[in-house]
């Protein structure tokens, strides 16, 4: 891997601290890593961040592989054990939101080993997944103590673009973001009171995989992570040696 090349993320994008990893993706592999950092505070791709609901991706894959879930699966969220009352939701939407009650329910129907092998399939180091039902539900809905590095998250982003077999359309649908201006972005986002992240890819003729972790976002860490994703990809997509083309779109 090439040496990290650091650039500052403009504060105007909405986060006091950010680590962004962007890689171009093609069948031949990936080009050197290009981290971008808003501060000196966590300047390395190894900086850990709280996973929050990231386990929903391996959990969903495990459930699909185990036949516990399919494209027609639906869930009725009453708001119990959830952040909102989502009502009747199809699986893909429930994963994307995420509906925590749905994840809680799903986690009780899939075994620890199945979830661990989904982590492996997605190329993410598996944390300890609790055997006991309540603890496992807490793990998938809060992340528990699980932290991972931004570099690990970038591997997940790469897997999401690669779609390792067996893959399922439910997952593709779950990766669509509910923001019209991010139609070309696929992935998962999450935030808590102080931090947030995006893991996924920007699809184009030459796709880019992205992992972003942000902290200190006055207007919300999800929107900051997405703005920084857009910014980082547009900066990386124009290499210094590339002649300028007319302003795209
Ligand atoms: Zn819900």
Distance 101 CA to ligand 1 centre (A): 5
Distance of CA 35 to the CA centre of its chain: 17
Percent of the chain with pLDDT over 70: 83
Distance 52 CA to ligand 1 centre (A): 16
Overall average pLDDT of the 36-53 stretch:
72
DSSP-assigned letter for residue 182: G
What average pLDDT does the chain have?
A: 85
Distance 139 CA to ligand 1 centre (A): 16
Query: Rg of the chain's alpha carbons, rounded to an integer?
Result: 18
Residues 110 and 167: their CA atoms lie apart, in Å, by 17
100: tokens are: 């925590």
Q: Residue 184: name the closest of 202, 169, 164, 196 by CA.
A: 202
User: With 90 as the cut, is the pLDDT of residue 120 above it?
Assistant: yes
- CA-to-CA dists, residue 62 to 10, 12, 77, 121, angstroms: 39, 39, 21, 10
Q: What is the pTM of this model?
A: 0.88
Distance 82 CA to ligand 1 centre (A): 5
Highest mean pLDDT among 5-9, 99-103, 150-154: 99-103
Residues 247 and 66: their CA atoms lie apart, in Å, by 48
Distance 77 CA to ligand 1 centre (A): 5
Every domain of the chain and the residues it spans: 1-48+148-163+177-249, 55-145
Distance 225 CA to ligand 1 centre (A): 23
What residues pack around ion ligand 1 (CB closer than 5 A)? 77, 82, 86, 99, 101
Percent of the chain with pLDDT over 90: 65
The torsion of the CA quartet 37, 39, 40, 46, rounded to 10 degrees, works out to -40
Q: Which CATH architecture has domain 1-48+148-163+177-249?
A: 2-Layer Sandwich (3.30)
248 CB-near residues (< 8 Å, 6+ apart): none
């Amino acid at each position: 891997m090439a040496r990290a090349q650091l650039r500052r993320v403009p504060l105007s994008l909405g986060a006091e601290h950010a680590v962004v990893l962007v890689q171009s993706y093609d069948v031949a592999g990936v080009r050197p890593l290009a981290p971008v950092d808003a501060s000196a505070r966590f300047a390395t791709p190894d900086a850990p961040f709280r996973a929050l609901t990231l386990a929903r991706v391996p959990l969903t894959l495990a459930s699909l592989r185990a036949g516990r879930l399919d494209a027609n699966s639906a869930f009725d969220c009453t708001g119990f054990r959830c952040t909102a009352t989502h009502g009747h939701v199809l699986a893909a939407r429930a994963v994307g939101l995420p509906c925590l009650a749905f994840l809680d329910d799903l986690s009780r129907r899939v075994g620890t080993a199945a979830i661990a092998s989904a982590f492996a399939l997605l190329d993410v180091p598996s944390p300890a997944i609790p055997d006991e039902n309540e603890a496992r539900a807490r793990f998938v809905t809060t992340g528990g103590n699980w932290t991972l590095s931004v570099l690990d998250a970038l591997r997940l982003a790469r897997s999401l673009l690669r779609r390792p077999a067996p893959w399922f359309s439910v997952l593709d649908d779950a990766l669509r973001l509910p923001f019209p201006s991010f139609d070309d972005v696929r992935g998962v986002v999450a935030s808590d009171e102080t931090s947030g992240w995006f893991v996924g890819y920007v699809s184009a003729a030459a796709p880019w995989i992205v992992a972003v972790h942000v902290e200190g976002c006055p207007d919300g860490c999800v929107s900051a992570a997405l703005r920084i994703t857009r910014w980082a990809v547009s900066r990386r997509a124009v290499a210094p040696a590339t002649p300028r083309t007319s302003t795209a779109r």
